[in-house]
Chains A and B, each alone.
Chain A
Amino acid sequence: MTGVLVLLERHAGAIAAASCEAVGVARSIANGGPVVGLLVGPGGAAGATGLGVDRVLLAESPNLDHPSGAQLAVLLAAAADAASSTTIVVPGTARGRDLVGRVAVRWNASAATNVTEVATSGSGALRVTRPVFGGRATEELELPGPRQVLALKPHAFSPPATSPAPTPVEPLALPEGLAKAPALDVRGFQPTVGGKGPELGDASIVVSGGRGVGTPEKFQVVEDLAEAFGAAVGASRAVTDAGWRPASYQVGQTGKAVSPQLYIAVGISGAIQHIVGMVSSRVIVAINSDPQAPIFRVADYGIAGDLFAIVPALTQAVRAARSH
């Protein structure tokens, strides 16, 4: 029987979806062993109930408002030891992923990030699958026991059903190493520009626009569709280079790599540098007036046609579908 520890990351008071996905994975590899959550920082145990963990360890201290990677690694190793966990699963968020290398060193564990499949194999080892080369290939690894640390690829796993049962919460004795771990001096926070919808790297649906949209003003049709879907907005480099939208929108080799459940490319030709940033999305839809556009070779579904006719109609249809 092996216990699994999960880092419960909170964004704006709520447990991040990526952490819920991690709880589901922890349960599937715990083989009946306990699944324990670690909560860090101010905010008490808010959000811990109903997640499906057996109990929560709470690490609280005034200087953990903005814990550094080094501090979190110390806490994770201490919590895993306190809970007799042999595996640590961290959410596939920016902060979560940064911890894996530190925990691997500190806790002497075998490590993998961006994991899309995981299974137990004999003698405490784990078999994991992960995309490499921007999703153009996958590798399968065996992580030897007795200790492993994993970060999951966002959206690769579904979160478990929530349970209303109250979750016991215990304080984690702050380990000695914590004082020595370098802290971070966080001075400010700026929400992503223009981001009404979900964060690009985080969203389960992404709608991206390309040069075919024509002008910065007309890019609004892409944003309307994204809003109808509750999706994040992305763009090709043609759009960000022209200054129609900020660089933070760019998807691709030199922008963000995204892998949502659904990616909709509007007026994007499908250059290889764009493709590598979105090809590992689960379902890809392309809307382009040129039936020969290379984007249709990687898309699952295509509509050949003028985006200014198709996209508003689609926005309507999505709004109608969502209101039922």
Chain B
Amino acid sequence: MEIAVLVKPVPDAETRLRPDAKGLALDPEGVKWVLAGYDESAVEQALLLKEAAPGTTVRAISYGPVARAEEVLRSALALGCDAATSLEAPPEAPTDAVSVARALALALTKHPASLVLCGKQAGDDEGGIVGPAVAELLGLPDLGVATNVRWDGGPGGLTMERSVEGGLEQGRTALPALVALQQAWNDPRTAKLPNILKSRKAPIERIPAAEVAAAMAPSAATAPRRLGFRLPPPRTGAKMIEYKTPEEAAEKLVRILREEAKVFP
């Protein structure tokens, strides 16, 4: 089986957020770009399936400015992916989800996969749009956000659980299909040092910007335009409730929640 994993470079969770000079996006100055959290789950899922089904190969695919995309592709290789494709962002790199999905679909057309894995949403824009858009572009069923994926070896044998309001739904689909992975239910592995070193020299296929731009072009007219990127006013710290007895603290809090915060009928 051929598996493709879509991995997005996102700012490290510790990044101090600052708007750029125009106030339109995150200031990229000094940002460390890492594999998005849910994408780690997707890579882990791919590797688990590979271990269960010998002969499976896993290709990681990333779109973005070359240095960022290749950084996260090397992380994916160090974890155990077999191959990597970087889609070089054109100048003025579009970042809207559907354009990005078109770029990723280009790579998937060159390297057809029976199973495409992606993250539920990326830790930066938290859109959750790219995966389903890729599925629609390629005519694949998408299983939505899954928490557990098993393959029983045949072409009709993908079983998964997905989280919906009120519980877990179990379903099956034929391959090819796309699945978005949620949280670290599968406890992603960490890369071993020798593999990290090896990944530094591993070849990464690069699809040039001109070709990527052509694939993205049909979405230019629908791409959202950024008007602002803002930080919320800093939280000033809790208003501490003074009290002599627990009962007094409780009554004061209930009154505040009702009358001041109005979150309690």
Please list the residues of chain A having a beta carbon within 8 angstroms of any beta carbon in chain B.
11-12, 16, 66, 68-70, 73, 93-95, 97-102, 104-106, 108-114, 127, 131-144, 147, 182-192, 195, 199, 201-202, 205, 229, 247, 250, 253-256, 261-262, 272-273, 276, 282-286, 291, 296-305, 309-310, 312-314, 316-318, 321-322
Contact = CB atoms under 8 A, between A and B. Distances in A.
A298 B235 contact: yes
From DSSP, what is the main secondary structure of chain B's interface residues?
mixed
Contacts of B168: 189-190, 192
Interface string B81-109: 00000000000000001100100000000
Contacts of B145: 94, 98
Contact of B171 (A102, A127, A187, A199): A187
A276 B123 CA distance: 10
A184 B166 contact: no
B205 interface: no
Nearest to A109: B222
A66 B172 CA distance: 12
B87 to A, nearest CB: 18
Given A104-B98, A111-B224, A262-B261, A314 B254 contact: yes
Contacts of A105: 98, 101, 133, 136-137
B263 A283 contact: yes
B73 to A, nearest CB: 22
Contacts of A101: 97-98, 101, 128-136
B168 to A, nearest CB: 5
B170 A189 contact: yes
Interface residues of B, number: 85
Contact of A310 (B13, B136, B246, B264): B246
A105 B142 CA distance: 14
Contact of B222 (A99, A104, A127, A310): A104
Contacts of B254: 314, 317-318, 321
B141 A182 contact: yes
B13 A253 contact: yes
Given A102-B135, A138-B229, 15 more contacts: A111-B97, A112-B224, A114-B126, A133-B26, A182-B140, A189-B170, A192-B166, A261-B263, A262-B263, A272-B13, A302-B240, A305-B243, A305-B249, A313-B247, A314-B250
A316 B250 contact: yes
B258 interface: yes
A317 to B, nearest CB: 4
B167 interface: yes
A138 B142 contact: no
Contact of B141 (A104, A184, A195): A184
